[in-house]
Amino acid sequence: MFTGIVTDIGEVVAVEDRAEGLRRLTIACGYDLDSIAIGASIACSGPCLTVVAKEMRGNRACFAVDAAAETLALTTAGRWRVGTRLNLERALKIGDELGGHLVTGHVDGLATLAAREDLTDMARLTFTAPAPLARFIAPKGSVALDGVSLTVNTVEANAFSVLIIPHTLAVTTLGAAQVGEAMNLEVDLMARYVARLLEAR
């Protein structure tokens, strides 16, 4: 589990295609290499991926993850190349501050940035969501976009907007987001369960 509070921006430094649709991605980060355990889960711009190797490359700590065919097809991971910047978050520990909302790292689909309005020190980003997921998105509710916990501002049909504060613009990849860009979308877990309970009635 995660909170959607990004703790580092990583950079893809190597991409290696392996057998049966498996792709190994090596990601440079600012974490202490000794603090990264093999088998640990790290959210990489949304998807929860398992650390399978680690090393120092020059003065940069790096960890490697394997992305399977489904992850490559259903998330933006299939588009990651050397130089791609990723929002990183370590797995939540019992006792950690829950600053965002509960995020599983299981991407539901892709949202597309339809409009960007840069305000004074802030930005309003408007996304379109796949129709099956739009019903889980509500004003004042939560979503995770590329692993970032955000509060929904407005909703209209399949479109929703979020306001990005200066801190989030500075410490995540959202500051460089461009219209037309696809992002990994995870809807609020609670909204999904509520909808399921209502369907069962």
pLDDT digits (tens, 9 = 90+) for 53-106: 999 999 999 999 999 999 999 999 999 999 999 999 999 887 777 777 889 999
Q: Which of 7, 40, 50, 114 is catalytic?
A: 50
How far apart are alpha carbons 44 and 34 in whole angstroms? 19
CATH number assigned to the domain comprising residue 180: 2.40.30.20
Examine the domain organization and report whether 121 and 63 are in the same domain: no
- pLDDT value at 32 more than 90: yes
Q: What is the pLDDT of residue 170?
A: 95
Q: What is the pLDDT of residue 200?
A: 65
26 within domain boundaries: yes
Closest CA to 107 of 48, 166, 159, 160: 48
Please report, as a single letter, which amino acid is at residue 55: E
Examine the domain organization and report whether 130 and 82 are in the same domain: no
Examine the domain organization and report whether 116 and 86 are in the same domain: no
99 within domain boundaries: no
Q: Which of 14, 53, 104, 106 is catalytic?
A: 106
Q: Which of 90, 122, 155 is the last residue of a domain?
A: 90
Q: What is the pLDDT of residue 71?
A: 96
**Backbone φ and ψ of 94, nearest 5°:** -60, 130
Domain limits for position 56: 8-90
41 a catalytic residue? yes
Instruction: Calculate mean pLDDT across residues 19-31.
Output: 94
How far apart are alpha carbons 92 and 129 in whole angstroms? 27
62 a catalytic residue? no
63 a catalytic residue? no
Q: Which of 29, 48, 64, 144 is catalytic?
A: 48
Q: What is the pLDDT of residue 19?
A: 83
- pLDDT value at 40 more than 90: yes
Q: What is the pLDDT of residue 193?
A: 72
Q: What is the CA radius of gyration of the chain?
A: 17
- pLDDT value at 196 more than 70: no
Examine the domain organization and report whether 82 and 116 are in the same domain: no
The kind and range of the H/E element at 191 are helix 189-199
Structure tokens at 85: 């910047």
Percent of the chain at pLDDT exceeding 90: 84
Looking at 18-22, 40-44, 146-150, which range is the least confident one? Answer: 18-22
Q: What is the pLDDT of residue 101?
A: 85
Closest CA to 139 of 160, 125, 122: 160
Instruction: Calculate mean pLDDT across residues 153-161.
Output: 97
Examine the domain organization and report whether 127 and 187 are in the same domain: yes
Examine the domain organization and report whether 85 and 162 are in the same domain: no
Q: Where are the alpha helices (DSSP H) in 37-188?
A: 69-74, 131-134, 166-171
pTM of the model: 0.93
